[in-house]
């Protein structure tokens, strides 16, 4: 059965763009459009769509206000935010994701065919991810307490923690990264996100975390107590230079459907630090990370995946687990502790 979508946007042009992006596929059906927030709330009640796309900036009720109403009245309906590629757009989108929006797409800049095709792919991916999301997790404040990881005495073990994550990622990272102590090995994260969004997201996450969170830059050395977030729209790799592990970035083609790609990060780590890596694949749509997990496992890494019950979208973790290369699945509340245990495991083997 096709995914029934309601488009809420005050712009006639954007309503047309979104509708056009979803035409020509058999698994998605646009069942209605709304020109403002109040109209959108009425049509959510009358049409009961499977997914709502929601503009963040509208006259009258803003997108955030509409989202708050949806989370109170119909929290099982997944919402995809439609945002602008600006600092304000990024800030509001991140707020929306914490309020309960499942995913987001950035409005296209320009009308080049490649830009419009990329926008169409983003819309289709976001709608499908939203439709596949765990309805019991949408809008949930995740009251369960994340178990804080213990810190390491002295210098943390010579291990790298790698995280691959996509739809549902911002809210998930906000939940467990603050539970990681400052005395922890370096962390590298590939979160599927467009350019201009990762900088504000890293800054926001840094405010609530014990580790230093930063958007990765070329040449950054991987140091304990630091989390490097792949910049939007660029692949992040880890390379060895004069005995030190450093960040490398490139603008190569999409891998596994994404740039940045989890597979690109994992594959690079397999080559330079294979048996000193703890990798986890978390919430997200598709199978990015599955190939990298297999290669890492062959090299002696510890590999984890988020479990179905705690994933907002159990796509990437499921695909990774089904490769047979994942050591175990972990609930969100146990991720920091599981990372610590896995680091200890690798450290014991290397002694």
Residues 189 and 317 grouped into a single domain: yes
Interval 303-313: pLDDT, tens: 999 999 999 99
Residues 332 and 273 grouped into a single domain: yes
Residues 88 and 166 grouped into a single domain: no
Residues 342 and 270 grouped into a single domain: yes
How do strand 328-330 and strand 302-306 relate by DSSP bridges?
A: parallel
Q: How many domains does the chain have?
A: 2
144 assigned to some structural domain: no
145 assigned to some structural domain: no
CATH of the domain at 67: 3.40.50.2300
Is 288 annotated in the active site?
yes
For the question of whether the overall pTM of this predicted structure is more than 0.85, the answer is yes
Is 69 annotated in the active site?
no
Per-residue pLDDT of the chain (351 residues; tens, 9 = 90+): 899 999 999 999 999 999 999 999 999 999 999 999 999 999 999 999 999 999 988 988 999 999 999 998 887 899 999 988 667 788 889 999 988 899 999 888 766 666 788 899 999 999 999 999 987 766 555 455 788 888 888 889 999 999 999 999 999 999 999 999 999 999 999 999 988 899 999 999 999 999 999 999 999 999 999 999 999 999 999 999 988 999 999 999 999 999 999 999 999 999 999 999 999 999 999 999 999 999 999 999 999 999 999 999 999 999 999 999 999 999 999 999 999 999 999 998 875
Residues 111 and 200 grouped into a single domain: no
Burial of 274 (0-12, 13-18, 19+ CB in 10 A): middle
Residue 261's domain comprises 160-350
CATH of the domain at 166: 3.40.50.180
57 assigned to some structural domain: yes
Residues 191 and 332 grouped into a single domain: yes
Q: Give, in order, the Cα–Cα distances in Å from 212 to each of 82, 182, 184, 242.
A: 29, 8, 11, 24
12 assigned to some structural domain: yes
Reading across the β-sheet that carries 103-106, which strands appear in turn?
Answer: 28-34, 3-8, 51-55, 79-83, 103-106
Cα–Cα distance for residue pair 265/249, rounded to 1 Å: 10
Q: Which of 10, 288, 307, 334 is catalytic?
A: 288
138 assigned to some structural domain: no
Residues 120 and 171 grouped into a single domain: no
Residues 242 and 180 grouped into a single domain: yes
Residues 191 and 280 grouped into a single domain: yes
Residues 127 and 206 grouped into a single domain: no
Residues 167 and 204 grouped into a single domain: yes
Interval 292-306: pLDDT, tens: 999 999 999 999 999
Is 235 annotated in the active site?
no
Q: Which of 10, 122, 192, 228 is catalytic?
A: 192
CA 347 from chain center: how many Å? 29
Residues 181 and 284 grouped into a single domain: yes
Q: Which of 166, 261, 268, 290 is catalytic?
A: 166
Interval 237-249: pLDDT, tens: 999 998 899 999 9
181 assigned to some structural domain: yes
Please give the pLDDT value at position 116.
84
């Amino acid at each position: 059965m096709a995914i029934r979508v309601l488009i809420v946007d005050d712009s006639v042009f954007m309503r047309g763009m979104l509708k056009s992006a979803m035409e020509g596929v058999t698994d998605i059906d646009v069942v209605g459009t709304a020109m403002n927030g109040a109209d959108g709330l009425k049509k959510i009640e009358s049409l009961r769509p499977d997914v709502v796309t929601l503009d963040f900036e509208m006259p009258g009720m803003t997108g955030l206000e509409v989202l708050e109403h949806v989370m109170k009245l119909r929290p099982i309906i997944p919402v995809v935010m439609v945002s602008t590629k600006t600092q304000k757009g990024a800030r509001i989108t991140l707020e929306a994701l914490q309020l309960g929006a499942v995913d987001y797409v950035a409005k296209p800049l320009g009308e080049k065919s490649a830009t419009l095709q990329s926008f169409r792919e983003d819309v289709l991916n976001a709608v499908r991810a939203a439709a596949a999301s765990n309805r019991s997790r949408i809008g949930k404040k995740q009251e369960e307490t994340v178990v804080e990881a213990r810190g390491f005495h002295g210098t943390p073990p010579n291990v790298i923690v790698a995280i691959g994550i996509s739809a549902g990622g911002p809210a998930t990272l906000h939940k467990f990264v603050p539970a990681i102590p400052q005395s922890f090995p370096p962390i590298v994260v590939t979160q599927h996100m467009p350019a201009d969004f990762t900088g504000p997201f890293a800054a926001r996450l840094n405010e609530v975390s014990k580790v230093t969170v930063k958007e990765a830059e070329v040449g950054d050395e991987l140091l304990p107590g630091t989390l490097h977030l792949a910049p939007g729209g660029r692949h992040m790799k880890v390379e060895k230079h004069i005995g030190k592990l450093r960040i490398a970035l490139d603008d190569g083609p999409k891998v596994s459907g994404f740039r940045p790609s989890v597979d690109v990060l994992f594959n690079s780590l397999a080559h330079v630090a294979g048996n000193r890596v703890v990798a986890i694949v978390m919430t997200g749509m598709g199978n990015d990370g599955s190939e990298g997990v297999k290669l890492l496992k062959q090299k002696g890494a510890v590999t984890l995946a988020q479990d179905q019950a705690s994933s907002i979208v159990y796509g990437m973790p499921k695909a990774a687990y089904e490769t047979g290369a994942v050591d175990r699945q972990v609930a969100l509340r146990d991720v920091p502790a599981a990372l610590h245990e896995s680091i200890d495991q690798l450290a014991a083997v290397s002694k």
